[in-house]
Structure 1
């Protein structure tokens, strides 16, 4: 089963370090996934992901690389982040044609767990969830008006943001102060969530969640 080895993100390492993430050089490792912080000049948001145990990069337009023999081995333990983040809960991608995206991802060997046919509070009409080792890919159908404004359903899928788990979300939110929203109930029953604000200085949406 494919697993996420690395996410290349168009952010400066200093921006993540300022938020209490442990950063070494241009790498911030969260759980089993390395975030390669390539700087704002690299693009926008999640530039691509690198997958272990995958055999194709054809994932409905999601920029994908395959981990090879030169990929650095995983350390036995992930670093401790001063802000209390422990792992990635899920990566979010958006699609103008969710059924097409689901077909492509299943053909590439990703493990489809379920399709949710109910709208989210943010207005996404449907979502599909794929298991990639310890992490989840949440593929979200764009609302019809967004699809029309953005140029139609022929566009490829694209990455959107991240959700990270915290050991103690209240302590993490207190540490981040004005750079994060208040904690609220998540869509998932029994879980709580907060969102980093633009003032946090990151180039992609990031949510913080209870485990």
Structure 2
């Protein structure tokens, strides 16, 4: 069975997300495309996730993980223009260990890309979880102890310029994304009271 993302658990209170243009249901769940974002719970950042297609519950490389059999939700309409989750970034202190942990639950890397972060070499390893891309990021030649963590989320928006205008100076200028033909803006998430690093990206370019 294919492993897909059912739900991301995020510590932020619902009213913060509502103020950022997300529609949140009375149970504090935000339906973004076919992914649920469950808000609240204390702390900061992305607290864990639930995945379909797993055999058992349990942490994946230190990330709290719950097995889910839930059907995909009906997408909600969001005032900020968000239509889906493009990708989730996972920070790994040990890339080989993390890739092995993901492989143990049935996920295989689709591609890799070498880059730099803060002047240091970095490798990105990409996995596909249904509609969501998982981008695993870490130093290519370093293996440290400690758990991996879910670090940030990039959302697809219908109109990147309209979304950037909505957020005004709480978003960085729109620029070309790494993906050819797409454009992206990064939110100043702390200015919005959000604890998760957040970006907005234009829709994928459909091949002819």
Equivalenced residue count is 199
Within the candidate set 178, 182, 186, 2:169 is matched to 178
Relative to its length, the structure with more helix (as a share) is: 1
Q: In 2, are the aligned partners of 1:166 and 1:208 still within 8 Å (CA)?
A: yes
Q: In 2, are the aligned partners of 1:111 and 1:132 still within 8 Å (CA)?
A: no
Query: Does residue 192 of structure 1 match 2:194?
Result: no
- Local SS of the residue matching 1:51: strand
- Local SS of the residue matching 1:79: coil
Structure 1 pair 93/179, CA: closer, same or farther in 2 (3 Å)?
Answer: same
Within the candidate set 139, 147, 155, 2:146 is matched to 155
**Structure 1 length-normalised TM:** 0.87
Within the candidate set 30, 33, 41, 1:31 is matched to 33
- Local SS of the residue matching 1:125: strand
Unpaired segments of 5 or more residues in structure 2? 204-208
Unpaired segments of 5 or more residues in structure 1? none
Q: In 1, are the aligned partners of 2:95 and 2:140 still within 8 Å (CA)?
A: no
**Offset at residue 124 of structure 1 (A):** 5.6
Residues of 2 paired with 1:35 and 1:80: CA distance? 14
RMSD (Å) for aligned C-alpha atoms: 2.0
**Structure 2 length-normalised TM:** 0.89
Within the candidate set 84, 90, 94, 1:93 is matched to 90
- Local SS of the residue matching 1:15: helix
